[in-house]
Structure 1
Amino acid sequence: MLPNMVLKWALLLLGLFLLCCESHECKEGFQKINRTCVDEDECERPNLCGDNARCLNTLGSYYCICDEGFESKPPNFTADKGQCVDINECFKKKVECSSEKECVNTLGSYNCSCPKGYRDSECADNDECERTDVCGTNANCYNYEGSYSCKCHQGYSNYGNDQSKCIEINCDEFKIESDMEEMPKQWKDLLTRLRNSCESLSGPDGGRQTGEQLLENLFTSTDELLTDGSIASGEMLSQFLGAVENSMRLIGPQLKEPVTTMETHNTFAEVAVTRSQTPPTGSVTLSTDSALFNTSWETVVGNSYPGFAFVALVSYKDLNSSSDQFHKISRTSQEQESRERSDVKGKNITYQLNSNVVTAVVSNPETKQLSEPVMLIFTHTEERAESGGVAYSCVFWNEAEGAWSGRGCERAWSNGTHTGCSCSHLSSFAVLMALYPIQDSFELVLITRVGLGLSLVCLFLCILTFRFCRSIQGTRNSIHLHLSVCLFIADLVFLCGISSTHNKVACSIVAGLLHYFFLSSFCWMLLEGVQLYRMLVLVFENTIKHLYMYAVGYGVPLAVIIISAISYPQGYGTDRHCWLSLEFMWSFFAPVCIIVVLNSLVFVMTVWKLAEKFSSLNPDLSKLRKIRGFTVTAVAQLCVLGGMWVFGCFLFQNEGTQVLLYLFTILNSLQGALIFIMHCLLSKPVREEYCKLISRICSQKEKKYSEFSTNVSSNSQRPLRSDQTTGESKI
């Protein structure tokens, strides 16, 4: 019995042991095969150790062993620790070659080779001059131990690059012609220095000039010209830009550094130069403070490669504002603009540069028609997005026409801050902003004409009321009368002459009249505020001498007009409307804002005093209520008329939305109707006079009708008289 129990317990323990063994996982580097953990051969994985190495399997792991000529970092690494790298035997092992040869490292090995300029196994000198194309036909080749040099013929130069081919050089480009006598002395001195440098390069002995020094001299003279404003005509601008381009062709190849950047007060330049036996390839990008220029080295080199190439970008900071003549656009471009924008045909389009002028120069002499276009990205000097009234064009300075032209340049894209241009030739470029005349919408014109017509009728009724209504005669009534007269004349002139832009003299007169009468209206509003203050504070003293009123109401605006016309006469009248120009608008809005502020202070003081009077023990309620009514209408008038024009000031400055524009137009055109409502229809004495007038008119009509009826009845009762001759009755 006991042995059987022991056997059962043994079998049970064995089963538990086998069960535990089956659930046990193998260690890393092992794999389970038939419930047994065996070593995994990691080297069977493809490219485990990477290039230049072989894999060695170990129990539970592996090693990567680098091939000969390579080393691992760190040594004996696994695949997740790095790769094998080449050993530079010439540096680490310090391999020694014979005196004629030099060690050259290769991938996984090295060799001893002859230096450049030598050949065969014995490193004999290689006579490069045996090749006819090494210096070209415009130079003599001179061989010497290990190298050679090219000596250019007279009239040719390799710009100091002795192992480059020689190209023809024209120093007459820097000659001072007879038509350049008007150019400043510093510019003539610069041309003389550049001509001397050019002649030394093209001489039989060549001669390497300091390109950096020439570049500094060029931009020093350029700064003086731009600062003094010496470039004052299109002809001088053509000469200036042409001289800069020729100068960069002379200076660029002489610069030592691969990339040279130079910035002065008025210029910014970046030049890239490359020298090699083979032509460069790929993209090249230059940038200044205001533009970016992108092209390819293939475009820079062109069809022939002499052994060097350069590309330059020059930006002029103040050239875009030197003269108004520089904003001219060629006739061809104007015709193209008219075709593209038929809605502005026959209208005056204003052109303005909205970027710095840049000059792009490459070593390729054939740049009139490039094989592939270049890209220029300009930064706008004025951040302004395109709209119905603004459009951007990519242009270059056309020396033949003395104007900006868009031929060969297309606008790739544009936003409020930058414009991208794609051009098929190289020259001096800029972004031209066309300011189109904005056409007033039919709805705005209709609202203006209808509103002004209604205002004229209402103002005419106001003038008759204030002049002939006896119950409201007084100082305040006189102020309202002159206010209505000024607004009536201003609205009438506005309605009849605001669009008379075809005649500049008449347009200036219309703008001056509008300026005067609108200012006069605000001066009479100021007098109304002063009158209210006198009525309440100065013991109801309500009389202002008419001489003082006329001096303020008509004399002050006249003084403002005279000063404005003398200081800036061209501010009266624009190409679009007979009103003040935008930069001259301060001559109207400054006095208006001052009057509104003063009137606001007067009305605040008036309301304060009025509240004190009402709170006193024995107030004169009838007079106080009368003054309160006057104050309410005056404040309402100030808010409607004064607030409207102050609001219009911000509208013009910020180019408001259509909703704000319509609101301003409606309030401005209905100001006469608003005055009639406030001072006539809402005034009880005036309403009573209107009622009396209507009653008299009606009574007179009834009286005439009754008289007519009486006469008719009496005539019907009277016997008819017979004619003695004919016997017929007469009626």
Structure 2
Amino acid sequence: MAGRWNLLILALSLSLSLAMSLECPPGFSFEKQKCIDYDECSNDEDYPEEVGPCGENAACFNTFGSFYCQCAEGFRSSTGNRNFSAVTFAICKDINECLVDSGICGLNAKCFNTMPHYSCICDEGFISTNGVERFRHGDNVTCKDVDECREEKVCGQNATCVNTPGSYHCVCNDGFGLKSGKSNFFGNQEQCEDICMIDTTICGNGTCHRVASGLDCACHAGFTNYGNKGSRCTALNCDIFKDMKNLTEKFPVAHDLMMQLKKNCLELTESENPTELDKEDPLTRLLSVIDKLLSSGAINDNTKVSTFLYMVEELMRFIGPFMKPPGTTRFSTHTDVQLLLHKGADLPQGAVTLSSKAKQSRLDILLETAAGDPSYYPGFTTVSLLSYGNLEDFADGFFSGMKSQVEKSYKINSKVVTVTVSNRNTSHLKEPVNLTLYHLTKTNESNHTCVFWDSSVEGGSWSARGCNVVKSTPEYTVCSCNHLSSFAVLMALYEIEDKFELQLITWVGLSLSLLCLFICILTFSLIRSIKSPRTTIHLHLCICLFIATLIFLAGISRTGSRVGCAVVAGLLHFFFLAAFCWMCLEGIQLFRMVVLVFNTSFKTLYMMAGGYGVPAVIVAVSALANAKGYGTEKHCWLDLKSIWSFFGPACVIIIVNIFFFLITVWKLAQKFSSLNPDLDNLQKIKTFTITAVAQLTLLGTMWIFGCFLFEGSNIIISYLFTIFGSFQGVMLFVMHCLFSKQVREEYGNILSRCCAPRKKSYSDLSYSHTSKAHASKSTQDTGESRI
């Protein structure tokens, strides 16, 4: 019985102990009848000693009731968190410090990643400041260059060592070189030898001598290195002087220069090592010849333009190498030239810019382009930019090489320039050159074309082949061309197409105007009863328009003779301007009659001075300033440079007459209201409109349409200008003769005398004229306008 009780007590105690142990929270264990913290980081049989509960490369930290993990230095958890638990399945990965911070090792050193850290090692040619091979950031260690040139004879004889950061190279001394042709070498790879022994052809047609300064080439007879002793000797080419007959015939003034240069060239071919062309400056002499040719007018057709430009290009290329480096800048009456010269055995490189002093042109070119093929490099490079003062006047109009376009013609709008380089193969350049040409006439229209002179097209013409417009502003145009020659910028001009309808209107209108103006001249000169200061103005206006119209019909297209065409243009300029001056006097007289209402007449001398003296002065000044502006390729009229010597005064007169027109229309509107109160409004408007249009026609204000033709081809403006311009004589006859009651009465008397069976006696006729004259004077004294 006692044994059973003992067993029962033992079972109860075990059950109580188990119950108490089951009640401890996680991280605790039941020991000695209580829950105590369990150290999860302690090693046991569940984890290998080198790993632990946190895995590899991680440290375990126990806490009260739990624990956490941290990656070791140089590692980062896969979750990105600093602290993590084993249940997250995070692992610790190595940090690649070389990728995180690319400059962690500093300059001239490479970073190598290790576990768990990294190492820095200096680049080849460098050494650490403390002598250690490996270091880390924070050790206060840097890499410094190793001066390999401190070692004696590192480059051998006849060479110089050049230290570079992390390395070095050897350069041969003057007069020595490498058989490989390289400019430098390392260590004992090669040895520097006498340059004259390495390459026996280095001087070309000359004898090589090694001197202290390097190389000296003594050229044979007929060859030269243009004073650059270190360059190969090339043949002195005198072929450009062989064909003298054509040049002598076209430009006798250039004959003496060509003969002298030919003589100098031949003398140099017979001398040893020639370096100087002539004691006199050949470039100055060439510019003097160009001035004479451009001022004499000898270049008067496209074949002569071609010959002239060819001569200039060849002579500039021939003279250039004999100039002194680095070049020169010259100016004369009609030329502006800048020449750049480089001499040396090495091929020049880099971009250069040449520009004219007068800001007419600018050239941007690579020296490699100017020098040409390195295998044929003669030891010098020349680049020249020559701008002509007035060659555009002689070279204008030759556009057969341009693609024809409807309603468009061309005119040169820049100075003509010639670009010359020592490279003779410039027909197709690898790198195009940029040429900036400034406009002679500023315009907002982007209608400019880059062109060059092509001698192969019909004796010579401007052509756009191989040239493109890079940029165009009102002031200048930038051209890009893949060849070199003489260049210019063309401005497109829009012309009115010669339509049959416009021609018909012009010829019919001018023919009728001639007839009507002739009748007006007879009327105002023979009928004494209507004579007055105002009819005197009418008479001279009709005379000027009659002569101008007659000359226009007879000679506007007579362009065969340049002198005759210029005379026709000058006469048209004078008589049309005179007509405008008489129109101005007409407006002033009308203003005095309608507005001021007093009968103070102009003195005849003043009228003649204003009507003929002013246009004579304008024409004289214009002709002296630009005599070549009279006569164009298609018409005997003013060119664009001189056209404003006509349209300028004409526009001033038109503006003045418009002012008079507005004043007189205002006064006429008042008179219509006061003198005709019984007329209805429609009749007043009709009469007023006819009067206003008549005033506009008589005062020449319809010519303002001609100014708008410069903006482009506008068919409406063209028809308006043609109609009002052609029929102005008819309108003058209608307004001054048919609308004048007094003139109509005189016409009726003349017709009645011609048709009546009995003619009046001389006394009757005199009485009739006298009475009419008194009536006319009475009417004029009132100051009322007949219109």
Match of 2:453 in 1: 395
Are positions 1:70 and 2:126 aligned together? yes
Instruction: Return the match for 2:200 from 108, 133, 157.
Output: 133
Instruction: Return the match for 1:516 from 575, 579, 585.
Output: 575
Contact residue 412 and residue 490 of structure 2 kept, 8 A: yes
Are positions 1:40 and 2:94 aligned together? yes
Match of 1:268 in 2: 338
How far apart, in 2, do the equivalents of 1:517 and 1:641 lie?
14
How far apart, in 2, do the equivalents of 1:673 and 1:169 lie?
75
**Which amino acid is 2:701 matched to?**
M
Question: In 2 relative to 1, CA 48–591 (structure 1 residues): closer, same or farther, beyond 3 Å?
Answer: closer
Contact residue 519 and residue 592 of structure 1 kept, 8 A: no
Contact residue 143 and residue 149 of structure 1 kept, 8 A: yes
Question: In 2 relative to 1, CA 456–172 (structure 1 residues): closer, same or farther, beyond 3 Å?
Answer: closer
Match of 2:384 in 1: 314
How far apart, in 2, do the equivalents of 1:248 and 1:514 lie?
48
How far apart, in 1, do the equivalents of 2:600 and 2:191 lie?
119
Question: In 2 relative to 1, CA 189–387 (structure 1 residues): closer, same or farther, beyond 3 Å?
Answer: same
Match of 1:704 in 2: none
State the Cα distance separating 1:143 from its structure 2 match: 5.2
Match of 2:765 in 1: none
How far apart, in 2, do the equivalents of 1:513 and 1:122 lie?
87
Contact residue 351 and residue 434 of structure 1 kept, 8 A: yes
Deviations 1:300-349 (A, max 9, x none): 4448446x5443221123x25158556696xxx85x56xx54989xx9x9
**Which amino acid is 1:31 matched to?**
S
Question: In 2 relative to 1, CA 544–238 (structure 1 residues): closer, same or farther, beyond 3 Å?
Answer: same
Aligned residue for 1:316, secondary structure, equals strand
Aligned residue for 1:268, secondary structure, equals strand
How far apart, in 2, do the equivalents of 1:582 and 1:309 lie?
48
Matches within 5 A, 1:551-590: 556-559=610-613, 568=623, 574-577=632-635, 579-585=637-643, 588-589=646-647
Match of 2:781 in 1: none
Matches within 5 A, 1:262-661: 262-265=328-331, 266-273=336-343, 275-276=345-346, 287-289=354-356, 290-292=361-363, 294=365, 297=368, 300-302=371-373, 304-305=375-376, 309-317=379-387, 319-321=388-390, 334=400, 340-341=403-404, 352=412, 354-362=414-422, 367=425, 375=433, 377-382=435-440, 393-395=451-453, 404=460, 410-413=466-469, 416=472, 417-418=476-477, 420=479, 422=481, 428-431=485-488, 433=490, 438=495, 439-442=497-500, 444-445=502-503, 448=506, 478=535, 482=539, 489=546, 493=550, 496-497=553-554, 500-501=557-558, 512=571, 516=575, 519-520=578-579, 523=582, 526-527=585-586, 529-530=588-589, 532-534=591-593, 537=596, 541-542=598-599, 544=601, 556-559=610-613, 568=623, 574-577=632-635, 579-585=637-643, 588-589=646-647, 592-593=650-651, 595-596=653-654, 599=657, 622=675, 637-640=694-697, 642=699, 644=701, 647-648=704-705, 650-651=707-708, 660-661=717-718
How far apart, in 2, do the equivalents of 1:678 and 1:408 lie?
53
Aligned residue for 1:664, secondary structure, equals helix
Matches within 5 A, 1:254-265: 255=325, 260=326, 262-265=328-331
Question: In 2 relative to 1, CA 128–30 (structure 1 residues): closer, same or farther, beyond 3 Å?
Answer: same
Are positions 1:30 and 2:76 aligned together? yes
Aligned residue for 1:379, secondary structure, equals strand
Kindly indicate which of the two structures has a greater share of residues assigned to helix. Answer: 1
Contact residue 129 and residue 142 of structure 1 kept, 8 A: yes
Question: In 2 relative to 1, CA 39–261 (structure 1 residues): closer, same or farther, beyond 3 Å?
Answer: farther
State the Cα distance separating 1:42 from its structure 2 match: 0.8
Matches within 5 A, 1:95-110: 95-97=151-153, 100=157, 102-105=160-163, 108=166
How far apart, in 1, do the equivalents of 2:511 and 2:571 lie?
22
How far apart, in 2, do the equivalents of 1:660 and 1:77 lie?
86
**Which amino acid is 2:498 matched to?**
D
Count of matched residue pairs: 632
**Which amino acid is 1:292 matched to?**
L
How far apart, in 1, do the equivalents of 2:720 and 2:637 lie?
20
Contact residue 291 and residue 358 of structure 1 kept, 8 A: no
**Which amino acid is 1:247 matched to?**
I
Question: In 2 relative to 1, CA 533–47 (structure 1 residues): closer, same or farther, beyond 3 Å?
Answer: closer
State the Cα distance separating 1:169 from its structure 2 match: 2.9
How far apart, in 1, do the equivalents of 2:252 and 2:736 lie?
72
**Which amino acid is 1:126 matched to?**
E
Deviations 1:661-691 (A, max 9, x none): 45434544565677789789999x89x99xx
Deviations 1:234-257 (A, max 9, x none): 577765543322111334xx74xx
Aligned residue for 2:721, secondary structure, equals helix
Contact residue 455 and residue 669 of structure 1 kept, 8 A: yes
Deviations 1:388-418 (A, max 9, x none): 99865312679x99x7566996434577543
How far apart, in 1, do the equivalents of 2:525 and 2:253 lie?
69
Question: In 2 relative to 1, CA 509–379 (structure 1 residues): closer, same or farther, beyond 3 Å?
Answer: closer
Match of 1:250 in 2: 322
Contact residue 26 and residue 65 of structure 2 kept, 8 A: no
Are positions 1:166 and 2:233 aligned together? yes
State the Cα distance separating 1:492 from its structure 2 match: 6.4
How far apart, in 1, do the equivalents of 2:192 and 2:526 lie?
120
Contact residue 390 and residue 435 of structure 1 kept, 8 A: yes
How far apart, in 2, do the equivalents of 1:388 and 1:553 lie?
45
How far apart, in 1, do the equivalents of 2:735 and 2:321 lie?
76
How far apart, in 2, do the equivalents of 1:572 and 1:144 lie?
67
**Which amino acid is 1:263 matched to?**
T
Question: In 2 relative to 1, CA 44–142 (structure 1 residues): closer, same or farther, beyond 3 Å?
Answer: closer
Deviations 1:145-178 (A, max 9, x none): 9966443333333345545433233589899x99
Contact residue 370 and residue 381 of structure 2 kept, 8 A: no
How far apart, in 2, do the equivalents of 1:207 and 1:662 lie?
71
Please give the TM-score of this superposition, normalised by the length of structure 1.
0.60
**Which amino acid is 1:66 matched to?**
C
Question: In 2 relative to 1, CA 465–141 (structure 1 residues): closer, same or farther, beyond 3 Å?
Answer: closer
How far apart, in 2, do the equivalents of 1:606 and 1:591 lie?
22
Match of 1:720 in 2: none
Contact residue 529 and residue 634 of structure 1 kept, 8 A: no
Contact residue 355 and residue 385 of structure 2 kept, 8 A: yes
Match of 1:711 in 2: none
Please give the TM-score of this superposition, normalised by the length of structure 2.
0.57
Give the gaps of 5 or more residues in structure 1.
Answer: 79-83, 615-619, 694-731
State the Cα distance separating 1:90 from its structure 2 match: 4.0
State the Cα distance separating 1:55 from its structure 2 match: 1.0
Aligned residue for 1:133, secondary structure, equals coil
Question: In 2 relative to 1, CA 466–25 (structure 1 residues): closer, same or farther, beyond 3 Å?
Answer: farther
Contact residue 30 and residue 39 of structure 1 kept, 8 A: yes
Question: In 2 relative to 1, CA 468–68 (structure 1 residues): closer, same or farther, beyond 3 Å?
Answer: closer
**Which amino acid is 1:354 matched to?**
S
Give the gaps of 5 or more residues in structure 2.
Answer: 1-15, 29-36, 39-62, 80-85, 179-186, 299-303, 750-787
Question: In 2 relative to 1, CA 8–494 (structure 1 residues): closer, same or farther, beyond 3 Å?
Answer: farther
Question: In 2 relative to 1, CA 541–634 (structure 1 residues): closer, same or farther, beyond 3 Å?
Answer: farther
